[in-house]
Amino acid sequence: MDLSKIKDPTFLTTYSNLQLRQLSDEIRQFLIDSVSVTGGDLASNLGTVELTVILHKVFDSPKDKIIFDGGHQSYTHKILTGRINDFKTLRQAGGLSGYQKRNESVHDAYEAGHSGTALSAALGMAIARDLNKERHHIIAVVGDGGLASGMSYEALNQIGENKHPVIVIINDNNTSSTRPAGKVTKNISKLRISKSYNSLKSDVKNVLDMGGLITKPITSTVDALSNLVKKNVGNESYFSDFGLSYIGPFDGHNIAGLVKVLEYAKKSKESIVVHLKTTKGKGYTPVEKSRSNHWQAAQFDLETGEAKVTLPAGHMSNAEIVSTTLKRIASVDPSIVAVAPGRLEQLKLEGFFKAFPERSFDTGLTEDHATTLSAGLALAGKRPFLAIQSTYLQRAYDQINHDIARMSLPVVIGVDRAGLVGEDGETHQGIFDIGLLKPLPNLVIAEGKDSQETQNLLYTAFQQDQPFALRYTRGNEAYLPVKEFSPLEIGSWEIIKLVDQPSAIILTYGKEVVTMETKARENNYPWWIVNMRFIKPLDNKTLETVFDQGVPLFIYETDLLIGGLSESILAVKNQCHNASPLFVKGIKDEYIQQGSIIQQRKELAIDTNSVVHWILENS
């Protein structure tokens, strides 16, 4: 069919299984072609095509609420709800979001960019539905990785306790953004590979291949199959202990079977768990065979599946610079261990895990657990490196505060993707961590201006005994390994004096130090550049020197101003009764929408040219 003419999913009610199969194949090919140009979450969406098509055939969206955990696997949902013509703008400024988005469509009942939230939201909607005496279904699609998060576990506990029906669909592709970790994931794995899936595979196929709508005899057969599954799977009690009915695992790509199973779940008067086995990257060989499964792929070549974007020679991503340095330091310090709440590939920790398997711990998508695990390791004399992206650090704030900072434990927190992150949009921006972490006593916060300073800061972090958060942005830099590490004095800043008597002093941190210095040298601007590499504690001695110059001061931040460095500096300035003019540039009180980092910086007027113009205009 002409996919561009789809306005809503109502047409699916008349489609035969053959037509549904053809439609699924067409959608899958469209996704491959489209995402190869724009980039996006290809693998997860290829794996949920049939599931999403049948969800929209069986259920009545938007009356029935369909929630995709994390939202990143909702591309087919967007196509079936009339948004295919916007896919050329996927994850671009002003374009189609890579996640469910309520302001895009009435069919998007919920929105999130973090996993583990769908079940709690679904239960809330189900309770409200019943209080309002409404009649519709709430369906939560959760991956096996998201199911292992603590929040999902807590939600399951209450879903089973409450009499507010929710349909829970486990999209089990055995390849979340983390490798399987922990007992919960192992329980799912046992369900997946148990007798019910192997010995009974032919029985499942016989039941699901019968076609047509569920009838009473078919329902009885599914009931019998469910009971047989339960009888043969020792870990079925995983769900029954929550008070939840469970059926599965079933083939998540079998059209006829999906219709029957979801019709069966739809008729359930109580909450039910439907376990579907899917293939991430289904239908596109390069992704199916890929070790990474193209988790958040960039633009790629259709024939080979290889990414079109490559790093310049001699460059590494900032995360890889940190992980490479960590490996180097750990090679001579056996007390160093690494902890990651999943996402090893994004965090670039695969090399460390391979080199030191006994000193590496992947907790799955459990940021809070990973953080307190690190605290326990530190209490027992180890030196943990906790790698966590800034957006997910928010989920472990209580543990950083209560379990690490309060006891002043020497945990080094690698805050990856700090600052603007671009196309992932407001759910993933790393602009909040400074404001979150700065109020915490005992905690040191730092960010290097280049790869060499970042290496020395990481070394410094392991030479002292306080909790230490090292920020590094999304992006890449030229990697020049330091020949010998040089520890930096905690709280020390660097003044780059281009002249003896400056006309303006610019205080900034991170790579902006280098860009501002380069701009000043190229144009012979009579400035001093202050490298505020330690965001906390402040370098009061350097501040005194800066205040004594009596020239305009410009604080240039690329994160949220609320809770930022400028607030701390202004407080010191007021205490000193200093009269020097002070100007502040940074991100105001707002969520930053998707777009390239370059676009976002320009729109926020924190790009280099805008900042230079601002300085010249006010000095």
Model confidence, pTM: 0.85
**For position 306, what pLDDT does the model report?**
74
> Residues 456, 523: one domain?
no
Asked which of 423, 444, 478 is the last residue of a domain, the reply is 478
Q: Which residue has the higher pLDDT, 293 or 376?
A: 376
Residue 247 lies inside a defined structural domain of this protein: yes
Q: Above 90 in pLDDT, residue 193?
A: no
> How far is residue 108 CA from its own chain's centroid?
20
Note whether 32 and 46 are within 8 A (CB). yes
> Residues 102, 178: one domain?
yes
The angle at the Cα of 471, spanning 113 to 151, to the nearest 5 degrees, equals 35
Query: Which uninterrupted H or E stretch holds 385?
Result: strand 383-389
| Set 263, 367, 517, 557: catalytic member | 367
Task: Round to whole Å and give the CA distance between 524 and 498.
Answer: 8
Q: What is the DSSP letter of 13?
A: G
> Residues 512, 541: one domain?
yes
Q: Give residue 272's domain range.
A: 3-9+17-289
Residue 76 lies inside a defined structural domain of this protein: yes
Q: Above 60 in pLDDT, residue 182?
A: no
Instruction: Provide the CATH number for the domain around residue 572.
Output: 3.40.50.920
Share above pLDDT 70 across residues of the chain, in percent, rounded to a whole number: 89
For the chain, what's the residue count? 619
| Set 280, 417, 536, 573: catalytic member | 280
> Residues 464, 431: one domain?
yes
**For position 466, what pLDDT does the model report?**
96
Q: Give the burial class of 303: count Cβ atoms within 10 A of its Cβ; 0-12 exposed, 13-18 middle, 19 or more buried.
A: exposed
> Residues 284, 361: one domain?
no
Residue 609 lies inside a defined structural domain of this protein: yes
Number of structural domains found in the chain: 3
- The mean pLDDT of 357-373, rounded to a whole number, is 92
Q: Above 50 in pLDDT, residue 160?
A: yes
Q: In what order do the strands lie in the sheet with 360-362?
A: 360-362, 336-340, 383-389, 412-418, 468-473, 444-447, 534-536
> Residues 498, 446: one domain?
no
Q: Which residues of 210-224 are buried (b: 16+ CB within 10 A; e: fewer)?
A: eeeebeeebeebbee
Residue 395 is among the residues annotated as catalytic for this protein: yes
Q: Above 50 in pLDDT, residue 410?
A: yes
> Residues 328, 375: one domain?
yes
Residue 94 lies inside a defined structural domain of this protein: yes
| Nearest by Cα to 108 from 144, 147, 80 | 80
- The mean pLDDT of 467-485, rounded to a whole number, is 94
Residue 302 lies inside a defined structural domain of this protein: no
Residue 488 lies inside a defined structural domain of this protein: no
Residue 138 lies inside a defined structural domain of this protein: yes
**For position 364, what pLDDT does the model report?**
83
> Residues 269, 320: one domain?
no
Place of tokens 């001695």: 541
On the question of a cis peptide bond just before residue 357, with omega within 30 degrees of 0, the verdict is no
Instruction: Provide the CATH number for the domain around residue 470.
Output: 3.40.50.970
Name, of 287-296, 309-318, 410-419, the range with top average pLDDT. 410-419
Query: Which uninterrupted H or E stretch holds 315?
Result: strand 315-317
Query: Which uninterrupted H or E stretch holds 126?
Result: helix 118-131
Helical segments of 132-215, H only: 144-147, 150-161, 182-193, 201-208
> What are the distances in angstroms from CA 556 to CA 457, 532, 546, 552, 566?
21, 10, 15, 13, 8
Q: Provide φ and ψ at 116, rounded to 5°.
A: 85, 5
**For position 187, what pLDDT does the model report?**
53
Q: Which residues of 7-37 are buried (b: 16+ CB within 10 A; e: fewer)?
A: eebebbeebebeebbebbeebbebbbebbbe
Task: Round to whole Å and give the CA distance between 293 and 303.
Answer: 16
Q: Dump pLDDT digits (tens) for 234-265.
A: 345 578 888 888 998 899 999 999 999 999 99
Note whether 164 and 130 are within 8 A (CB). yes
> Residues 200, 76: one domain?
yes
> Residues 144, 62: one domain?
yes
Residue 489 lies inside a defined structural domain of this protein: no
> Residues 367, 440: one domain?
yes
Q: How many CB atoms lie within 10 A of CB 140?
A: 28
- The mean pLDDT of 88-108, rounded to a whole number, is 90
Q: Dump pLDDT digits (tens) for 45-57.
A: 999 999 999 999 9
Residue 154 is among the residues annotated as catalytic for this protein: no
| Set 395, 417, 449, 601: catalytic member | 395
> Residues 162, 21: one domain?
yes
**For position 299, what pLDDT does the model report?**
75
Q: Provide φ and ψ at 500, rounded to 5°.
A: -75, -40
